[in-house]
């Protein structure tokens, strides 16, 4: 893997990690909110 490919590899990895992290965080918040609403039912 040449330096350019390595940079692109890391860049893609990083952007995917951010997206997956964001989605997980979103689901944590969503499940928390659903739980609170459901408890109130």
Partner 1 sequence: MTQPATSLALPADWRDFFALTKPRVMTLVIFTGLCGLLAAPGSIHPVIGFTAILCIALGAGGAAALNQWWEADLDAGMKRTANRPLPAGRLKGTDARDFGILLSAVSVGVMGVAVNWLSAIILAGSIVYYAVIYTIWLKPRTPQNIVIGGGAGAFPPMIGWVAVTGDVTLMPVLLFSIIFMWTPPHFWALALFVKTDYANVGIPMMPVVKGEKSTRRQIFVYSAILLPLALTPWFIGGTGLIYAIAALALSLAFFALSLPVSFRQSGQNDSMRPEKRLFAFSIIYLFALFAALVVDRVAANQGWI
Residue 3 beta carbon to partner 1: minimum distance, rounded to whole angstroms: 13
Give the C-alpha separation, 41 to 36, whole Å.
9
> Binding residues for partner 1, per CB under 8 A?
1, 5, 8-9, 12-13, 15-16, 19-20, 30, 33-34, 37-38
Enumerate residues 6+ apart whose C-beta is below 8 A from 1.
9
DSSP letter assigned to residue 16? H
Taking the complex as a whole, the smallest distance from the CB of residue 33 to partner 1 amounts, in Å, to 5
Work out how close the CB of 7 gets to partner 1 at its nearest, in angstroms, rounded to a whole number. 11
């Amino acid at each position: 893997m040449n330096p350019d490919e390595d940079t692109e590899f890391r860049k893609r990895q990083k952007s995917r990690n951010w997206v997956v992290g964001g989605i997980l965080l979103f689901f944590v918040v969503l499940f928390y909110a659903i739980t609170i609403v459901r408890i109130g039912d």
